Amino acid sequence: MAPSHDNPKKYNCAEIEQLAQKYVDNLLDKQQRKLFDEHLEYCLPCDKKIQFEFKLREIVRNHARDNYSTDFLHSKIKQILEIPK
């Protein structure tokens, strides 16, 4: 591989935020995923955010199985989001 004069493409935090849903849904292609993972390695806030997204997925999935109403889920998610910093 020839060295490039350009910086290798890196995702910034805004891009990570945009791609977060696709990441947790496993919809990113290999290259995107790699860049995404690289960003998470040095960016703690994004890493935390993604972990949170995964947790949220899990909760939604678990509760969906129990046939909770959408309203219930929304309030549950809101509770989680309101965790003080």
Which residues contribute to the site for Zn ion (CB under 5 A)?
13, 43, 46
Contact predicate 10/42, CB 8 Å? no
Residue 56 Cβ, how far from Zn ion at the closest point, in Å? 18
| 24-51: burial string, b at 16+ Cβ within 10 Å, e else | beeebeeebeebbeebbeebeebeebbe
Closer residue to Zn ion in complex, CB, 20/43 = 43
Closer residue to Zn ion in complex, CB, 47/60 = 47
Closest CA to 36 of 25, 47, 51: 47
Measured CA to CA, the distance from residue 25 to residue 56 in angstroms comes to 12
Residue 30 Cβ, how far from Zn ion at the closest point, in Å? 20
Closer residue to Zn ion in complex, CB, 21/70 = 21
Residue 58 Cβ, how far from Zn ion at the closest point, in Å? 22
